[in-house]
């Protein structure tokens, strides 16, 4: 029997990952422990599995609480963060303490508990405005805003704890993950969720910049799969390394708007506003390194959009019926 800890288990990515662990590992007798402080997580995201996990309401900024959460744990998926580039630009100190201090506290708790492996949710924003495409893990990071700097610091900490203390660590650089449960009505929401809810309400979405900036949008199921594969892979394939998690495709914001508008039968036009501070211009991943440990794109961009729209239609049926 093994015990797994998921940090940020009530968040968008963390809840999907925890749900999958409950489905696949709990029947074998493995124990799933989740923690969240609900700063960005949602209690409703726990509904389908809350009674099948050990849940701790815990803040990673509390070293003693984190040490307790790590006790008797074998493997950790570190998903918890205060995400969003704009959020970190507005309030860098709070973002720093959550993302850097929280990660350090977790590593120290893991070290004391004898944790064997940590899979860390990193960010493609660490590449910044690197001129080369596609993004390859060997490129020198050029982070612009505080958030990518913080996530990159987490990567260095992970590698350090592998080299010095022998904790096997793998860092997954997510590229614009989207899907069900992503919060749609926050100033820091991803565009898929935000655009979808706005169109359901009959409101024109706002596109920052000219809309021709590109993103490698990646459906949530692909990110969950990457986590499970990285946790199960032989140490020689993953330990101390960084991997892109994406689809390896570039889609512009304008194209994304058009596809969503078609799926939602939205006839309006977007509003264009000046680019946001800290946003990168383009993003496209080389995913061959992750493919070496078994990662494959299971859900395409188009299919992911369709599933996402259907979920939001169900969740916001009252809005959609207007």
Query: pLDDT digit string (tens) for 213-234?
Result: 999 999 999 999 999 999 999 9
Residues 76 and 221 in one domain: yes
At 84, the pLDDT band (50, 70, 90 cuts) reads confident
- The pLDDT value recorded for residue 186 is 67
CATH of the domain at 183: 3.90.25.10
Residues 239 and 143 in one domain: yes
| Residues contacting 38, CB < 8 A, separation 6+ | 10, 57
**Residue 245 DSSP code:** E
Q: Are 171 and 240 in contact (CB under 8 A)?
A: no
Instruction: Identify the burial level of 313 via C-beta atoms within 10 angstroms of its C-beta, where 0-12 means exposed, 13-18 middle and 19 or more buried.
Output: middle
Beta-bridged to residue 168, according to DSSP, are: 117
38/58 Cα distance (integer angstroms): 9
At 321, the pLDDT band (50, 70, 90 cuts) reads very low
- The pLDDT value recorded for residue 311 is 96
Does residue 62 register a pLDDT over 80?
yes
Indicate the SS3 state at residue 169.
strand
Q: Give the range of the structural domain holding residue 310, as residue numbers without chain letter.
A: 179-215+249-284+299-320
pLDDT mean over 47-72: 97
Residues 140 and 231 in one domain: yes
Residues 92 and 211 in one domain: no
- The pLDDT value recorded for residue 75 is 99
At 136, the pLDDT band (50, 70, 90 cuts) reads very high
Does 290 map to a domain? no
Indicate the SS3 state at residue 143.
coil
At 187, the pLDDT band (50, 70, 90 cuts) reads low
Q: Chain centroid to CA 141: how far?
A: 18
At 276, the pLDDT band (50, 70, 90 cuts) reads confident
Does 294 map to a domain? no
Residues 125 and 143 in one domain: yes
| Range of lowest pLDDT (45-54, 96-105, 113-122, 279-288) | 279-288
As annotated, the active-site residues are 147
pLDDT mean over 176-192: 85
CB atoms within 10 A of CB 284: 21
Does 272 map to a domain? yes
| Residues contacting 23, CB < 8 A, separation 6+ | none
At 320, the pLDDT band (50, 70, 90 cuts) reads low
Does residue 277 register a pLDDT over 90?
no
Residues 121 and 204 in one domain: no
Rounded to the nearest integer, the mean pLDDT of the chain is 95
Evaluated on CA atoms 129, 135, 140, 146, the torsion sign reads positive
pLDDT mean over 205-212: 95
Residues 62 and 210 in one domain: no
- Total of domains in the chain: 2
- The pLDDT value recorded for residue 130 is 84
CATH of the domain at 39: 3.40.50.720
At 48, the pLDDT band (50, 70, 90 cuts) reads very high
DSSP string, 171-215: EEEE-SEE-TT--SSSTT--HHHHHHHHHHTTPPPEEESSS--EE
Does 289 map to a domain? no
- The pLDDT value recorded for residue 13 is 98
Query: pLDDT digit string (tens) for 231-274?
Result: 999 999 999 999 999 999 999 999 999 999 999 999 999 999 99
Residues 103 and 173 in one domain: yes
């Amino acid at each position: 029997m093994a015990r797994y800890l998921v940090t940020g288990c009530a968040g968008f990515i963390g809840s999907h990952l925890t749900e999958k662990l409950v489905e696949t590992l709990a029947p074998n007798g493995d124990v799933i422990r989740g923690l969240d402080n609900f700063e960005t997580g949602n209690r409703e995201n726990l509904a389908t599995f809350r009674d099948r996990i050990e849940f701790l309401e815990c803040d990673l900024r509390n070293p003693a609480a984190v040490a307790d959460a790590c006790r008797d744990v074998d493997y950790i998926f570190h998903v918890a963060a205060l995400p969003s580039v704009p959020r970190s630009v507005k309030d860098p100190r709070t973002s720093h303490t959550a993302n850097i201090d929280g990660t350090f506290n977790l590593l120290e708790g893991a070290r004391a508990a004898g944790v064997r492996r940590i899979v860390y949710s990193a960010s493609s924003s660490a590449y910044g405005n690197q001129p080369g495409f596609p993004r390859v893990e060997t490129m020198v990071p050029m982070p612009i805003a505080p958030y990518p700097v913080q996530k990159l610091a987490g990567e260095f900490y992970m590698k350090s704890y592998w080299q010095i203390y022998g904790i096997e660590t793998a860092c997954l650089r997510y590229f614009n993950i989207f899907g069900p449960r992503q919060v749609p009505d926050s100033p820091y929401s991803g565009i898929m969720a935000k655009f979808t809810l706005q169109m359901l309400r009959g409101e024109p979405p706002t596109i920052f910049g000219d809309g021709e900036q590109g993103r490698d949008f990646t459906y949530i199921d692909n990110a969950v799969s990457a986590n499970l594969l990285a946790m199960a892979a032989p140490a020689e394939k993953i330990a101390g390394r960084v991997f892109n998690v994406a689809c390896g495709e570039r889609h512009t914001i304008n194209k994304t708007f058009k596809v969503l508008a078609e799926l939602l039968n939205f006839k309006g036009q977007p509003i264009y506003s000046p680019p946001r501070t800290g946003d990168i211009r383009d993003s496209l991943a080389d995913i061959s390194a992750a493919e070496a440990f078994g990662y494959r794109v299971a859900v395409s961009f188009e299919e992911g959009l369709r599933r996402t729209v259907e979920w939001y239609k169900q969740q916001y049926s009252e809005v959609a019926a207007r």
